[in-house]
Chains A and B, each alone.
Chain A
Amino acid sequence: MSVVIDKVFALSTKIIALLVLLIVAWIFTVLLQHSMESINAFGFDFLTETKWAPNLEKFGALPAITGSVISTFLAMLLAVPIAIGVAIFLSEIAHHRLKAPVGVSIELLAAIPSVVYGMWGLFYFVPIIRDLFGGLGIGMLTAGIVLAIMILPFMAAVTRDAMDTTPDILKESAYALGATKWDVVKDIIVPYAKAGIIGSLILALGRAIGETMAVTFVMGNVHKISTDLTAPATSIPVTLANEFTEADTDLYFSSLFELSLILLVISFTIISIAKFYFLRRKRSL
């Protein structure tokens, strides 16, 4: 009897696992199918063209790609050092009475839906950026900052978790040689948890690059590449969120699909790199 149950269980989990693969392949196929018209019309020029003019039936993805890359880069630039600092503080430096409450609040922050960050950014950050740097207050800089604030708690929490996997006995061995807390952090914890830390940074990067709701309000949706970080701009998710309802021609529609395909490929690449790190780490343990 139990043998039968085992078999049924094994079979059903296998089917579910295959189903997941199937869904991924399905999404990819649908995106590719709907992108075909745009791919046929523009070819590789789609990736390098800077004009996005729906009324002229001319579509280029470069401003959206650049916007995604730069806002994400800005967000990482701001968030990584702070997140690592917070993680170090929480895992080794903080007084034990502070550890739990601060740790929990960070996890709570990580659970706030991104649309809330977006609204908060629009009503509080946009005016601040406007006052500080001039312009509309809407654009790459604001988006980068809001994204940074959004990914920071997640990044800090996962980095702390990675650091906490360092065995106590390894830390104790360093303390037993006369190491200070700072010595232990930089010589033992960071090298030991390096793969996990990098993995968590890349996961956060993946979240930032695909993020839609947090930046839709503060980006501006202007298809223009500007050297001015305070000028309105756009990113792939922002374009998709703003324009799908307006896509009145097949080519417009198809171009948006191609944009989402590009985003999917970028995200997949990032997640694969993260996975690679996590896997390598598991093997080495």
Chain B
Amino acid sequence: MATIIDVPEEKVLHVNNFEFTYASSETPNIKKLSMPIAKNCVTALIGPSGCGKTTLLRSFNRMHDLYPGNTYEGEVLFEGRNILDAKEDLIQLRTKIGMIFQKPTAFPMSIFDNVAYGLRLQGIKNKSELGDRVEKALKDAAIWNEAKDRLKHDANGLSGGQQQRLCIARAIAVEPEVLLFDEPTSALDPISTQGIEMLVSELKERVSIIIVTHNMQQAARVSDYTGFMYLGELIELGETEELFVTPKEKLTEEYITGKFG
């Protein structure tokens, strides 16, 4: 039915019999999904359009709660508790599980203020601390050199690739445990894409990463584990190389060899 390996590493997230249903949907959009997410690794999610990759990703930081009527079932364990619980503190959760969107989303404010935003939300007011942490985040996101002379400028003056790295800087500035990337390079040129990919590989030293991508080469390049989803189900989860070279499931094989999707 489905081949889902267990990971030898510590698990930062553990998904158990997870189901998700959009308000307007009659049947679950994610069905009985279970998978481990290994700590300090990159887990890629691939699959044809509409299979539920984004939906699953947005469940991990409870983004779906911003819109009425969506329902979760099952468990997503993080730091020993089920984060789907109604009592979960979403503000707190989202500082620990950050997200990078498909399109760069610089806020209408300066570059500095963009990166400082999450820190200020946490109540950090000290100028020098803010300055240090913004600089560190910009360096870690490999955009310091381009940004350092224009920190006070409007962030919308940056190019698309620069803005996406700015968004990464903004997300890592608050030092999350997990980063969720939803097709972070689909709006970018090849050079910027390469930059983001290198960044993802470097960042996993400190954060655990889940990345949704349509680009199988990208999944192969950056990830340690890859999950293949189809029609709201996880068909296969395996070590990336193994999944691409010797897939266990027929569907996976058909997908990665380009027979559909």
Chain B: CB-nearest residue to A193: B108
| CB atoms of A174 and B117 under 8 A apart | yes
What 1/0 mask marks residues of chain A from 74 to 99 whose CB sits below 8 Å from any chain B CB? 00000000000000000000011100
Chain B: CB-nearest residue to A175: B66
Q: Taking A187-B107, A191-B109, A192-B108 as contacts, is the C-beta distance between A172 and B101 under 8 angstroms?
A: yes
| CB atoms of A183 and B99 under 8 A apart | no
Q: Determine whether B63 belongs to the interface, using a CB cutoff of 8 Å to chain A.
A: yes
Looking at chain A's contact residues, is the secondary structure mostly helix, strand, loop, or mixed? Answer: helix
Contact among B66, B68, B117 for A177, CB-based, below 8 A: B117
Tally of A interface residues using CB under 8 Å: 21
Q: Determine whether B95 belongs to the interface, using a CB cutoff of 8 Å to chain A.
A: yes
- How far, in Å, is B108 (CB) from chain A's closest CB? 5
Chain B contacts for A172, CB-based, 8 A: 63, 66, 99, 101, 105
What 1/0 mask marks residues of chain A from 171 to 185 whose CB sits below 8 Å from any chain B CB? 111111111100100
Q: Among residues 184 to 239 in chain A, which have CB atoms less than 8 Å away from a CB atom of chain B?
A: 187-188, 191-192
Chain B contacts for A191, CB-based, 8 A: 108-109
Q: Determine whether A169 belongs to the interface, using a CB cutoff of 8 Å to chain B.
A: yes
Chain B contacts for A97, CB-based, 8 A: 68
Chain B: CB-nearest residue to A95: B68
Chain A: CB-nearest residue to B118: A177
What 1/0 mask marks residues of chain B from 150 to 175 whose CB sits below 8 Å from any chain A CB? 00000000000000000100110010
Q: Determine whether A241 belongs to the interface, using a CB cutoff of 8 Å to chain B.
A: no
- How far, in Å, is B65 (CB) from chain A's closest CB? 9
Q: Among residues 87 to 124 in chain B, which have CB atoms less than 8 Å away from a CB atom of chain A?
A: 91-92, 94-95, 98-99, 101, 103, 105, 107-109, 117-118, 121-122
Q: Determine whether A170 belongs to the interface, using a CB cutoff of 8 Å to chain B.
A: yes
Q: Determine whether B40 belongs to the interface, using a CB cutoff of 8 Å to chain A.
A: no
| CB atoms of A178 and B101 under 8 A apart | no
Contact among B91, B107, B109 for A178, CB-based, below 8 A: B91
Chain A contacts for B174, CB-based, 8 A: 177-178
Q: Among residues 57 to 82 in chain B, which have CB atoms less than 8 Å away from a CB atom of chain A?
A: 61, 63, 66, 68
Contact among B95, B101, B109, B122 for A173, CB-based, below 8 A: B101
CA distance A96 to B23 in the complex (A): 13
CA distance A178 to B89 in the complex (A): 10
| CB atoms of B117 and A180 under 8 A apart | no
A-B contact pairs, 8 of them (CB 8 A): A172-B66, A172-B101, A173-B167, A174-B117, A176-B171, A178-B91, A178-B92, A178-B174
Interchain residue pairs A-B with the least CB separation, the first 10? A178-B95, A177-B118, A173-B105, A176-B99, A96-B68, A178-B94, A178-B91, A191-B108, A192-B108, A169-B105
The residues of B with any CB-CB pair to A shorter than 8 Å are 61, 63, 66, 68, 91-92, 94-95, 98-99, 101, 103, 105, 107-109, 117-118, 121-122, 167, 170-171, 174
